[in-house]
Every structure is written in structure tokens, then in C-alpha cells.
């Protein structure tokens, strides 16, 4: 990959395959919402005006001093940002290769995950637009809890659509959403997981778009959602870059994040795209390579449109979104954000996989070696970071710990027990 880079003084990456990362965020997505050939807005005619209104409102207030100041105040006083970086010293010493592991602690963000970063921005936008309700899907429940929190903070109604399988699997987060005042709508169609929850949420939004706003939970969906969510999540990467340099005096050699839809990953990656840092996105291999046993769309998928955007997706024999599986409810989605597909194709980000067994091993390892209980989603990134550290003779790896594992306790104990 390095041979494609053009460098300037200080080692900053300027271009990769004709993409200028110095001006990347000004040029991607383009005005139509495309990252190369991925993205866009494949939506019914009646929703196009609504998307245009959202985009116009976002483009207006995102440049507003008042909006920026309010968002910064919320992040500091309500969310508890900036979240810290922790050095995993005991785990690094146990691996013993000399490579050092660090984690960006999004588990310490209010509500226990990175999702509140974009939810507070989206609901602030909804309030600016005069909407009365926010609608969304959720898989692991982290986005649902974050949106219910934001809705309570700003005084808006909140409807959360969640698959029946995930409701049973993520009972603590379901309780939290209800306590916060959200209406949790059980989705019993299809596999009853995240893809079906998105379908149901979109259908509900089409009936209520005049009074409500759809607050998508990742860097997916029709334009402008992939851009908006990335921009709100970029605070993770901006903080992490500054903190890591302050902590160590240099940039990390590698950064790692799990990828389902890809919001936490784009948040972290945003801070390092223009740096000589190797970037890894980690997809869920689940039970194995067979279609239906994993949700690794970027690794095994092909170009296709679903939920209003063009990206790389897993398809069945008829070309429809394939059934997917992951031990992590927040990762079992048959596509990934269009920006991830673009970064995959140009080679700026390396995408790889870890399976369920490696993930659960990492869950217990981090808990016992460092006193940090990670979300199962985040455990995919931890597992990959450990594998990477074992291959490296030296250097540093920064992992995005996108959420905490409280929500997964009952499921882990029931399915895996307490490992010795």
C-alpha cells in the first residue's frame, strides 16, 4: 500500500490512488452523497424532499457558531468528553513481543458507547427543524439507548424498532430505553434482527416524515446520513490523535475498530486518514465463511443497494440481502457504510475478520487482564488487536473500545458461562 502514497514534509500522507486526504472531508462525499461509486440516495420519490430538507438543515447548522458551541457544551458537560485513552500494560506485557496496546475508551462515554456522539447531534438537528419525534432502529440496543437519552434531554418523542431476537438478547438495554421514555417496537419479520429493524423503522418514518426525523444508527442509509453520522463521530478520532501524541510523543503504528455498519470505525479512522498509520477494520466472521454464518460484507460481499444506499453487501442467490449472523447484535448487518466500501476499494483501510470464539476469548482476556469489560462488538477489535500485537516485534496499536459489556452479561453467562 505504501508505494501508492505521496508524502510531504513530516510524513503526512497526501494522496492514495488519486484521493487527496489533505482535503478529503471537503470532497467526500460529493454533493450527491457519493464516495466514489458508493452511497447516494435510492429512496421513494416522496422521501426525496425530506432528505433534501435534512441535508439543507445539516449543512446550515453544522457551520453555525451557535450549533457548534452547543454541541461542544453537551459533549463536555453531559457526555463526559473527552473520553480517555488507556494503556493496556498488563496485556501488552503478557503478549511479550514488545508491541504496546492502547484503547480509546468510548465505553466511558455517557450511556456506555460511542452512539451518543451522533445521537445528540441528530436530535439537536431535529429540534432545530421543529420535529416532534425521532425514529430509529437498534441492534445491540446501544443506539436505541443513546437516542432515547438524547430525546429525553431535548424533550422529543422517541420510537425505537428492535428485532425480537435482539430484544431477548439485550434485555438490559431494552429496560433502559423504556425507563428513558422511549417506545420500543418489537419487529417479528424475517430473522428478527437488525436488518428487519431497519426495514420497520424506515417504513414507519415514511408515514411520519413531516413531523419526525429518522435518526439512523450508523454510517449507512441514504445521503446525508452516512456523512452526518461520520461527522458527528469524528470527535473520537480527533480526540484520539491528539491524546495519543500527548501520551507517547508519536502517532500509533496501527488503529483498529470493529465494523458492522461502521460508525465507531469511521469515527476513529477520521482522525488518522491523512497520517502514515495502518488502519484496520474488523468484521464478524461469526461461525465461519459459509453464507448465513457471518456478517463480513466487505470481505465476502459484492456491490449492491439496500436501505437507500449503494455499498458492498452480502447477497443471497436472488440478489437480495442475505441472512447474516454474529455473536454481536450490533454487527449482524448484511452491508457496511458506503465510505467503508470506498476506503476498502482504494486500499486506505485493511478489512479483516475474527470469529466468535476469538471474540469471546478477547472479552474475558480484557476483563481479567485490565479490569475493563468490553461490549461483544468491541471485543472483535480487541481480538484483532491482540492478534496483531503477536505478529509485531514492536510498535503501538490503538483500539477503539466502542462500548462496555454491561448489556452482554446475561447472554455471555447463559451461552458461555464463566471461563476459567
d(CA 349, CA 340): 8
3-state secondary structure of 157: strand
Q: Report the pLDDT value the prediction gives residue 398, as an integer from 0 to 100.
A: 99
Annotation says 137 is catalytic: yes
pLDDT at 12: 57
- Euclidean distance between CA atoms 280 and 241, whole angstroms: 16
Q: What nine digits make up the cell of 182?
A: 422511549
- Per residue of the chain (420 residues), give pLDDT as tens: 333 444 433 445 568 889 999 999 999 999 999 999 999 999 999 899 999 999 999 999 999 999 999 999 999 999 999 999 999 999 999 999 999 999 999 999 999 999 999 999 999 999 999 999 999 999 889 999 999 999 999 999 999 999 999 999 889 899 999 999 999 999 999 999 888 999 999 899 999 999 999 999 999 999 999 999 999 999 999 999 999 999 999 999 999 999 999 999 999 999 999 999 999 999 999 999 999 999 999 999 999 999 999 999 999 999 999 999 999 999 999 999 999 999 999 999 999 999 999 999 999 999 999 999 999 999 999 999 999 999 999 999 999 999 999 999 999 999 999 987
Q: What pLDDT is stored for residue 15 in this prediction?
A: 81
From residue 104, alpha-carbon distances to 49, 236, 371, 412 in Å are 38, 8, 15, 23
Q: What are phi and psi of 309, to 5 degrees?
A: -145, 155
Of the residues 115, 127, 131, 169, only one is catalytic, namely 115
- The C-alpha angle 375, 378, 380, rounded to 5 degrees, equals 120
Has 46 been annotated as catalytic?
no
How does strand 254-258 pair with strand 157-163?
unpaired
Alpha helices, H only, 301-395: 338-346, 356-370, 376-391
* pLDDT of amino acid 14: 63
Chain-centre distance for alpha carbon 133: 23
Q: What pLDDT score was predicted for residue 419?
A: 82
pLDDT confidence of residue 73: 97
**What Cα–Cα distance (Å) separates residue 296 from each residue in 39, 90, 216?**
19, 31, 20
Which residue bears the cell 453555525?
64
Asked if residue 404 lies in contact with residue 374, where contact means CB atoms within 8 angstroms, the answer is yes
pLDDT at 140: 84
Instruction: Determine which one of 86, 169, 402, 407 is catalytic.
Output: 402
297 an active-site residue?
A: no
Cα–Cα dist 245/235, whole Å: 16
β pairing state of 133-138 and 212-214: parallel
Selecting among 137, 339, 370, 377, the annotated active-site residue is: 137
Between helices 225-233 and 116-128, what is the axis angle to 10°? 120
Q: 3-class SS at 229?
A: helix
- CA-nearest of 159, 125, 135 to 47 is 135
Q: Is the dihedral of CA 252, 257, 262, 268 positive or negative?
A: negative
DSSP tag of 110: T
Which domains are delineated in the chain?
34-76+115-229 (3.40.50.1100), 81-112+233-415 (3.40.50.1100)
Amino acid at each position: 500500500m505504501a508505494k501508492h502514497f505521496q508524502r510531504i514534509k513530516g510524513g503526512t500522507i497526501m494522496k492514495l490512488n488519486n484521493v487527496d486526504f489533505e482535503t478529503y472531508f471537503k470532497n467526500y462525499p460529493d454533493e450527491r452523497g457519493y464516495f466514489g461509486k458508493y452511497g447516494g440516495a435510492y429512496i421513494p420519490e416522496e422521501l426525496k424532499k425530506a432528505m433534501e430538507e435534512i441535508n439543507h438543515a445539516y449543512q446550515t447548522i453544522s457551520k453555525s457558531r451557535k450549533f457548534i458551541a452547543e454541541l461542544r457544551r453537551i459533549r463536555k458537560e453531559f457526555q463526559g468528553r473527552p473520553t480517555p485513552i488507556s494503556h493496556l500494560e498488563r496485556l501488552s506485557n503478557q503478549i511479550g513481543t514488545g508491541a504496546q496496546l492502547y484503547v480509546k475508551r468510548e465505553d466511558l462515554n455517557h450511556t456506555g458507547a460511542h452512539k451518543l456522539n451522533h445521537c445528540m447531534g441528530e436530535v439537536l438537528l431535529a429540534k432545530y427543524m421543529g420535529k416532534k419525534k425521532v425514529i430509529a432502529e437498534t441492534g445491540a440496543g446501544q443506539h436505541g439507548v443513546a437516542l432515547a437519552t438524547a430525546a429525553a434531554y431535548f424533550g422529543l418523542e422517541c420510537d425505537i424498532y428492535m428485532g425480537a431476537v435482539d430484544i431477548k438478547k439485550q434485555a438490559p438495554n431494552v429496560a433502559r430505553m423504556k425507563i428513558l421514555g422511549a417506545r420500543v417496537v418489537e419487529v417479528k419479520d424475517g430473522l428478527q434482527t437488525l436488518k428487519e429493524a431497519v426495514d420497520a423503522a424506515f417504513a414507519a418514518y415514511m408515514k411520519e416524515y413531516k413531523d419526525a426525523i429518522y435518526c439512523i444508527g450508523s454510517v449507512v442509509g441514504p445521503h446525508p446520513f452516512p456523512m452526518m453520522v461520520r461527522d458527528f463521530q469524528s470527535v473520537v478520532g480527533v480526540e484520539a490523535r491528539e491524546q495519543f501524541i500527548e501520551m507517547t510523543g508519536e502517532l500509533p503504528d496501527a488503529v483498529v475498530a470493529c465494523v458492522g455498519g461502521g460508525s465507531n470505525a469511521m469515527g476513529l479512522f477520521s482522525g488518522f486518514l491523512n497520517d502514515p498509520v495502518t488502519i484496520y477494520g474488523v468484521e464478524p466472521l461469526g461461525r465461519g465463511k459459509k453464507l448465513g454464518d457471518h456478517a463480513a460484507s466487505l470481505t465476502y460481499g459484492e456491490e449492491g443497494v439496500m436501505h437507500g444506499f449503494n455499498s458492498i453487501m452480502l447477497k443471497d442467490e436472488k440478489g437480495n440481502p442475505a441472512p447474516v449472523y454474529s455473536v454481536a447484535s450490533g454487527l449482524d448487518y448484511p452491508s457496511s457504510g458506503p465510505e467503508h466500501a470506498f476506503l476498502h476499494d482504494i486500499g486506505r483501510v485493511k478489512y479483516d475478520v475474527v470469529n466468535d470464539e476469538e471474540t469471546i476469548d478477547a472479552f474475558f482476556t480484557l476483563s481479567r487482564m485490565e479490569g475493563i469489560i468490553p461490549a461483544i462488538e468491541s471485543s472483535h477489535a480487541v481480538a484483532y488487536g491482540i492478534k496483531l500485537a503477536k505478529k509485531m516485534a514492536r510498535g503501538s496499536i490503538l483500539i477503539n473500545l466502542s462500548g462496555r459489556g454491561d448489556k452482554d452479561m446475561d447472554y455471555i453467562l447463559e451461552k458461555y458461562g464463566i471461563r476459567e
